[in-house]
Structure formats: structure tokens, C-alpha cells
Amino acid sequence: MVNKNQHIVLRTENLSIGYTSKKSETEVASNINIELHQGELVGLIGANGIGKSTLLRTLTKVQTALNGTIFINNKDIIKYASLDLAKAMSLVLTEQISSKNLSVLELVALGRQPYTNWVGNLSEQDMTAVIKALNQTNIEGLKEKKCFELSDGQLQKVMIARALAQDTDLIILDEPTTHLDMYHKAYILKLLQKLAKETNKTILFSSHEIDLAIQLCDKLVVMTKDNVISDEPCNLISKGIFETLFPKDLIAFDKDTGSFRVRK
């Protein structure tokens, strides 16, 4: 388990998230107070439509918070210029990449954009970071392949490698196991667990794979209709948090196995 005396990479204070329009404000969740430490693998879980994507968009400055403060490395996220934020936090989205004609090497190298000169030339240091990221994700053998030739699982590893090449303290992934079969879902999450430990980066991902997240994560951020709770999986189990995620008429949580089952 991660040493809690380690540096806090991401912290929120009384954060409220949601949407604003000219006439109204819609609050999705409020009073969010979480701390993510260096080297932690953290899963963001909750039922469909509960607000996970809204929270991730807010934490990554894609969407403005309704209230409260987000700190990255003890600095208010509002005070980050775009280039500086790209050196502190990298983002892996579920959207399709714009050009699958790029080679794997070229796509991973895009992670070095915050550090290259205005022409975009890669230095020796940049290339070292790219090759290291390819090796860390076990895709060095794919570097010459075009992205359209890859399976969904291989492409997801390429996107993770690009985030690693960006060399940020924090990596945030939105549903990294979407469209993958059970084996590759487990493979990707095991890879993230390994990377968090080996690189000492903080990795936050949203997922519907709650059983896997319970097994693999150092910490979980659980969104319910009433609040947002963050703790180690074993503590959340003992507090009965997982029993509140879904209607009890169909889904039950087994504390002994740490998994969900369908009621007979």
C-alpha cells in the first residue's frame, strides 16, 4: 500500500461540479474533498450517469468547477497556463484519434509536444522518453506499425505510452477498458497498476470494471447519488459503501469476495 506521507499530487477542496447556462446552474455533485498521492493507482467508479465524466472533465480543466478549488502539486489549477498544465498532467480519452495513419512511434512522440520547440523537432532527450514509454508498455515491437493496423487493446497501450512520454506527475484516463474483452480489460488495469508502482506517477482512471478496480487499486473514488467518498478498497468494503451503488432488487455486493453478483 502507498505511503500516505508521500507528496499529494491532486487535491480538491469543497469542489462542486456541474453545468451552467445563461439561465440556470445544474449541480451534479458537491463537497468533493479528495487527495491523490504520488504513486497511487486510483479508480473512479459509480453507476452510469452519476457524473464520473463531469468530474474528470473538471479535474482536467476541460470544464469549469461550479465552486471549490482543484490543486495540482499544491498549485491552483486555475493558475496553470495550458503549456504548464500539459507538463503536470496528461489525459487519455476514449475518443478515436484523429489520424490512424500515424505510426505507433509518431503517435507516442506526440506526447513530447509540451517540451519541443515551435517547429516540433524531437531532441535526443525526447526520443529517449519515447523509447522508454514504448518499453514500459511492452509495445516497442509495434513502433513501425500504423495505428489503423492495431487492435483496440494495442491502441489503448499506445495511448498510455503517449501519456508516459509526456512525463507528467499525474495521468488521467477516461474509461481505458471500453470496447475491450475481459482479458484485455484486466491486462490494461494490471499494466496501470504496474506503471504506478514502477514510475511513481499518480494514475486516476474512470471505469465500470468495479470488481477489477477493487482488486487492483490503492484507492477508489466512489460517486453515489448522495456524496463522493475516497478511501482504500478494504475500508470502503467495511463501511458498506458498495452496497449503495446499485438498486438492491437486482445487484448485491458480497463483502467476503469483494465482488458484485446478480440476485437469483
Give 72's strand partners: 10, 75
* Per-residue CA distances from 249 to 183, 228, 252, 253 (Å): 29, 23, 8, 12
Q: Tell me what the pLDDT averaged over the chain comes to.
A: 93
Indicate whether 62 pLDDT > 80.
Answer: yes
Indicate whether 107 pLDDT > 60.
Answer: yes
Indicate whether 199 pLDDT > 90.
Answer: yes
Confidence class for position 195, pLDDT limits 50, 70, 90: very high
Instruction: Please provide the DSSP assignment of the chain as one string.
Output: ---TTS-EEEEEEEEEEEEE-SS-EEEEEEEE--EEETT-EEEEEESTTSSHHHHHHHHTTSS--SEEEEEETTEEGGG--HHHHHTTEEEE-SSPPS-TTSBHHHHHHGGGTTTS-TT----HHHHHHHHHHHHHTT-GGGTTSBGGGS-HHHHHHHHHHHHHHTT-SEEEEESTTTT--HHHHHHHHHHHHHHHHHH--EEEEE-S-HHHHHHH-SEEEEE-SS-EEEE-HHHHHHTTGGGGSS-TTTEEEETTTTEEEE--
The residue with greater pLDDT, 264 or 174, is: 174
Indicate whether 4 pLDDT > 60.
Answer: no
Q: For residues 214-220, give the mean pLDDT.
A: 97
pLDDT tens track for 29-52: 999 999 999 999 999 999 999 999
- pLDDT value, residue 118: 65
Query: In 10 A of CB 5, how many CB atoms?
Result: 6
Indicate whether 3 pLDDT > 60.
Answer: no
- pLDDT value, residue 119: 67
Q: What are the φ/ψ torsions at residue 262 (nearest 5 degrees)?
A: -85, 130
* Domains observed in the chain: 1-88+168-264 (3.40.50.300), 96-167 (no CATH)
What share of the chain in percent tops pLDDT 70?
Answer: 97
Confidence class for position 244, pLDDT limits 50, 70, 90: confident
d(CA 159, CA 91): 9
Structural contact between residues 15 and 175, judged by C-beta atoms closer than 8 angstroms? no
Query: In 10 A of CB 226, how many CB atoms?
Result: 8
Instruction: Tell me the torsion sign for CA atoms 113, 117, 122, 128.
Output: negative
- pLDDT value, residue 248: 82
- pLDDT value, residue 257: 86
d(CA 94, CA 51): 16
d(CA 15, CA 33): 7
pLDDT tens track for 118-177: 667 899 999 999 999 999 999 999 999 999 999 999 999 999 999 999 999 999 999 999
Indicate whether 1 pLDDT > 60.
Answer: no
Structural contact between residues 137 and 157, judged by C-beta atoms closer than 8 angstroms? yes
pTM score above 0.75: yes
